[in-house]
Amino acid sequence: MKKLLLGDEAVALGAINAGLSGVYAYPGTPSTEITEYIQNHPLAKERGVHSRWCTNEKTAMEAALGMSYAGKRALVCMKHVGMNVCADAFVNSAITGVKGGLIVLAADDPSMHSSQNEQDSRFYAKFALVPCLEPSNQQEAYDMMAYGFDLSEKLGEPIVLRVVTRLAHSRAAVEVTEPKAEKLLSPSTDQWVLLPGIARKKYVALLGKQDAMKQASAESPYNKVETSASKTGILTCGIAYNYVKEALGNDANLVKISQYPLPEEKIKALAANCDDLLVIEDGQPVVEELVKGLLGAGYPVKGRLTGDLPRTGELNPDNVAKALGKATGAVFAPAKNMAARPPQLCQGCGHRDVYAALNQVLADYPEHRVFGDIGCYTLGALPPFQSLSSCVDMGASITMAKGAADAGLFPAVAIIGDSTFTHSGMTGLLDAVNDKSNITVIISDNLTTGMTGGQDSAGTNKYEAICLGLGVEPEHVRVVVPLPKNMPEITRVIREEIEYKGVSVIIPRRECIQTFARHARAKKQ
């Protein structure tokens, strides 16, 4: 049966039908729809497949590893930068090995449509010495779930599955197979205690599996060879294959790479038949660098590092066609009457009232800095508010404000959303409390994970208790309702807490207007 699915949905359904027992994830564009699809899928519900959102990617990775330990199939999903958050658990999961199949899905975002960098998750797979699968289309994304779980169990290692935005968020028809049963509970009897003496042995064992991983790549149905008379060989990875096919049709000498470690023999054979190689990969020049080592310094390898393709940003049919020497047709001149239309906070959003109040108070403190964080409220950096001095990574608002305050900066204000606070802000707040840092933390609580579309937030109804538990003084945990009519009260509270020499937390709390409208509609029906 064929079904029209987003790349993310193909991953989700592929996992369910491969006998998935649990998905563990924190929302992050472009990976969010995977977990949402599993949460709403009838069979996953009937089977009781775990799908509740996790507090962050590290808790997700560890819980999935626990499920794998118990013998069942688990999936961890995150956007690429989530790999940084779970890296400790992920890298060590290659050392422990796995029991039930474990797939770590990283959704990369070349061109940074909704991200802070364009790091390439294939590096993580190589770093941890585990295989990586990179589907080129929605069908492969679906098929690779069952394939990946089998491979994971066969090798006893986690598998990275890398998708990019244009696959995650593109729809196509997918041939769907019959669902398989879940694995039964059968906990591992292997040694998983990574004391140094044991870890050394397990690391050697992991290195011992590298040949089997290479063999799997060599035999993989997803690493394909196509031949033509052309003297330029093409190495193309994941969705880049589609852009090559769009430009050249069947007239290409190529190796399509969708499983790593690299299929070295196929690449060497291609190189031997050609004068040079052009590497076309979305993201960073991972393969380009590896292939230079594989073929030696004398062999000409072209790609992003040589300027044949742009060094930054995602691939598209145009930059790939250009690299292949194909001209585009004549285009219309750009429109004269045009202006950028950046995203903005919704009209009526509570974050707007928070920024209005904050800007009003901080106008009296010219030396102030506001350290921002990741979420809808990052848009407070743009006009009309222009309130933020930084936004770096999940949770960095509190810790950067603390460091700046340690250096003597005053007032040092942090603004962080409710979900980001539980994701990675709590530990930093504890540091600030222990140091009695002179910072004002605003937890702008809209009762949801807003930017990714309104998923449950792990700490809802617990924020005051968390702050008190971490040691913030009760008289400096203040709750306000961000509405224009409350402006006098909100500005008074902000002013008082800035003037307090120590850690204070202000929690402006009002539901996200998008989830509010959705809840109202649901009630009506």
Partner 1 sequence: MKKDIILCGVGGQGILSIATIIGEAATKAGLYLKQAEVHGMSQRGGDVQSNLRLSTEPIWSDLIGEAGADLIISMEPMEAMRYLAYLSRDGKIVTSSKPFVNIPNYPDEEALQKELDTLPSIKLDIETVAKDCGNPRGANMVLLGMAAPIIGILSVENLREAIATVFSRKGEQVVEANLKAFDAGVQAGSK
173 binds partner 1 (CB under 8 A): yes
Buried b (16+ CB within 10 A) or exposed e, 162-174: bbbbbbbbbebeb
Stretch that binds partner 1, among 34-42, 143-151, 321-329, 400-408 (CB under 8 A): 321-329
DSSP letter assigned to residue 301: E
What SS3 state is found at 523? helix
329 binds partner 1 (CB under 8 A): yes
What SS3 state is found at 284? coil
453 binds partner 1 (CB under 8 A): yes
219 binds partner 1 (CB under 8 A): no
80 binds partner 1 (CB under 8 A): no
CA distance 91 to 516: 40
Residue nearer to partner 1 on the CB measure, 409 or 513 = 513
Query: Which of the residues 346 through 365 are near partner 1 (CB under 8 A)?
Result: 346
* The 3-state secondary structure of 248-271, one letter per residue: HCCCCEEEEECEECCCHHHHHHHH
CA distance 421 to 479: 16
How many CB atoms lie under 10 A from the CB of residue 194? 14
Stretch that binds partner 1, among 68-76, 125-133, 237-245, 431-439 (CB under 8 A): 237-245
How many CB atoms lie under 10 A from the CB of residue 72? 25
Asked if residue 56 lies in contact with residue 29, where contact means CB atoms within 8 angstroms, the answer is no
498 binds partner 1 (CB under 8 A): no
521 binds partner 1 (CB under 8 A): no
335 binds partner 1 (CB under 8 A): yes
Residue nearer to partner 1 on the CB measure, 64 or 164 = 164
Smallest distance from partner 1 to CB 75, Å: 20
341 binds partner 1 (CB under 8 A): yes
Residue nearer to partner 1 on the CB measure, 238 or 285 = 238
Residue nearer to partner 1 on the CB measure, 384 or 484 = 384
Stretch that binds partner 1, among 313-321, 396-404, 413-421, 484-492 (CB under 8 A): 313-321
Residues in contact with 252: Cβ distance below 8 Å, sequence separation at least 6, in sequence order? 226, 228, 230, 234, 244, 245
Residue nearer to partner 1 on the CB measure, 13 or 480 = 13
Stretch that binds partner 1, among 60-68, 82-90, 196-204, 343-351 (CB under 8 A): 343-351
Residue nearer to partner 1 on the CB measure, 48 or 343 = 343
Q: Which residue of 297, 339, 363, 407 would you call a contact of partner 1, by CB under 8 A?
A: 339
Smallest distance from partner 1 to CB 342, Å: 5
Q: Which residue of 42, 298, 334, 488 would you call a contact of partner 1, by CB under 8 A?
A: 334
CA distance 220 to 101: 18
Stretch that binds partner 1, among 39-47, 178-186, 315-323, 400-408 (CB under 8 A): 315-323
CA distance 325 to 348: 50
Q: What is the DSSP string of 390-449?
A: B--STTHHHHHHHHHHHTT-SSEEEEEEHHHIIIIIHHHHHHHHHTT--EEEEEEB-SSB
51 binds partner 1 (CB under 8 A): no
Amino acid letter, residue 207: L
How many CB atoms lie under 10 A from the CB of residue 221? 10
239 binds partner 1 (CB under 8 A): yes
Q: Which residue of 30, 82, 148, 263 would you call a contact of partner 1, by CB under 8 A?
A: 30
217 binds partner 1 (CB under 8 A): no
Distances 49 to 15, 23, 165 between C-alpha atoms, Å: 11, 7, 26
Smallest distance from partner 1 to CB 475, Å: 36
What SS3 state is found at 380? helix
Q: What is the DSSP string of 148-160?
A: HHHHHHHHTS-EE
Chain residues that interact with partner 1, rule: CB under 8 A: 2, 4, 29-30, 32-33, 113-114, 165-167, 169-173, 239, 242-243, 245-246, 316-318, 321, 328-346, 376, 379, 383, 451-453
